[in-house]
Structure 1
Amino acid sequence: MHSIRNNTMSNIELNDKKIQILEVAEKLFSEKGFEGTSIRDISKHAKINIAMVSYYFGSKERLLESLIIYKTSDLKLQLENLLHENIEPLDKVNKLIEIYINRISCNKGIFRVLHFELTSKKIEKSLIAFSELKRENLKSVETIIKQGQDKGVFRKDVIIPLITPTIIGTYFHFHMNKFFFEELLNLNTEEMYNNYIKTSLTRHIQQTIKALLVYEN
């Protein structure tokens, strides 16, 4: 039995059946979209009775919320640990970017749904745990930036809430134009493509964020 803790949803117990449902839901959400996927679709592909899926999660929105916590709670923990590392502010920001790119790369499907499909206020308001998770992650980013500001390394006029969208937006523009960039950059294999993300794309994003944060010479 797996337990995931969150301030809003304090204790979600995940047994093997629930995890199976969540994994199937992530696959279908990423392929068909959140709106294009039904509870019936999920139960069919998971080979679990539709009544059982509804019993476990209640609604599609509650299922998505559980999936978000299941897939992204480790990001929150990594950011919190980063806060306490004794390294220079810019090194901490660079590591922050590496953490985000790694987590997005490992969970492309759910991140795409979260950042590009959930545009409805009704859906957003129903995902209380996701909103809380975003606020907590933003607090970690704010703390890291303010540490650099207090040391006089980072600019005071930085719009901190736009840092994360800059990271995620750059990544997804690259990923959603995958075939174009594969041809343009001669990334002939999946390994070359993934390695480019870990190295060149990550470095580009780090340089972009540095330009936003650091005083001009």
Structure 2
Amino acid sequence: MSSTPDFNEKQIQILLVAETLFAEKGFDGTSIRNIAKEAKINIAMVSYYFGSKERLLESLIFYRTKDLKIQIENLLVEDLEPIAKINKLIALYINRINSNKGIFRILHFEMATQKKELNIKSFYDLRKSNLKSLEAIITEGQDKGVFRKDISIPLITPTILGTFFHFHMNKEYFMDLLNINTEDLYNNYINVNLTKHIQQTIKALLIYES
């Protein structure tokens, strides 16, 4: 079911309940029974639609990220300079993660705490696809002579995401430090100030020193 591009209303209801429970209790701490009970449906219905808990998580990742993949593919062919594409890519990433904290918190937490990495094909495919897009933009910049040749491209993504997640995991500290007193101001700070900081950081890594 995870490869199907469209989900029906009942499937979406199950996915949203699962997302909430996974984010609260962790993947291992949530059972199909918990999900069915919270969604007020039969356990057999969850199994019918998704098979296993792993397949359900895979479907959830697909549901939450399918349009991000399309946006990134469109960005690749836009008539923009490489650094403008990188900046737009970073803004896309940060905005998407910040507006879908549930699924990304699940993935980040599971990857940070599991002895073994989550063997979720759609997540692996998403990461590989995003890395290929990043490589394409950076290679274009290198070919134009504006980006350094000695860049470790696979480390760019953890630099972007690591900065965001450190900020988000220490939310109360930064809200106090920066005198941010509402959720709206916090989200605005991420989408404007934090995004700009990350863009400047990545630009400093990519561009030749003058």
- TM-score, normalized by length of structure 1? 0.91
- Which of 39, 54, 66 is the aligned partner of 2:59? 66
Give unpaired runs (5+ residues) of structure 1.
Answer: none
Residue in 2 that maps onto 1:168:
161
- Which of 203, 207, 210 is the aligned partner of 1:214? 207
Secondary structure at the counterpart of residue 117 of structure 1: helix
5 Å-filtered alignment, 1:1-217, equals: 10-118=3-111, 120=114, 124-125=118-119, 127-217=120-210
Can you list the C-alpha shifts for 1:104-132, whole angstroms capped at 9, x where unaligned?
0111111111123136476633x122211
- TM-score, normalized by length of structure 2? 0.94
Can you list the C-alpha shifts for 1:7-35, whole angstroms capped at 9, x where unaligned?
xx543541111000001011111111111
d(CA) in 2 for partners of 1:11, 1:193: 35
d(CA) in 1 for partners of 2:161, 2:172: 19
Secondary structure at the counterpart of residue 14 of structure 1: coil
d(CA) in 1 for partners of 2:137, 2:144: 11
Contact persistence 2:110–2:118 (CA under 8 A): no
d(CA) in 1 for partners of 2:88, 2:135: 15
d(CA) in 2 for partners of 1:10, 1:174: 33
More off after superposition, 137-146 vs 108-117: 108-117
Can you list the C-alpha shifts for 1:52-86, whole angstroms capped at 9, x where unaligned?
11111111100000000000111111110000011
d(CA) in 2 for partners of 1:123, 1:42: 23
Aligned length: 209
Give unpaired runs (5+ residues) of structure 2.
Answer: none
d(CA) in 2 for partners of 1:69, 1:197: 24
Secondary structure at the counterpart of residue 124 of structure 1: coil
What is the aligned-residue identity percentage?
Answer: 68
Contact persistence 1:90–1:210 (CA under 8 A): yes
Shift of 1:203: 0.5
Shift of 1:103: 0.6
d(CA) in 2 for partners of 1:134, 1:23: 22
Deviant stretches of 4+, over 3 Å: 118-123
Secondary structure at the counterpart of residue 48 of structure 1: coil
Question: Aligned Cα RMSD in Å?
Answer: 1.6
d(CA) in 2 for partners of 1:116, 1:213: 29
Shift of 1:38: 1.0
d(CA) in 2 for partners of 1:107, 1:190: 15
d(CA) in 2 for partners of 1:95, 1:52: 41
Letter in 2 for 1:146: T
d(CA) in 1 for partners of 2:166, 2:92: 18
Contact persistence 1:138–1:161 (CA under 8 A): yes
d(CA) in 2 for partners of 1:19, 1:40: 17
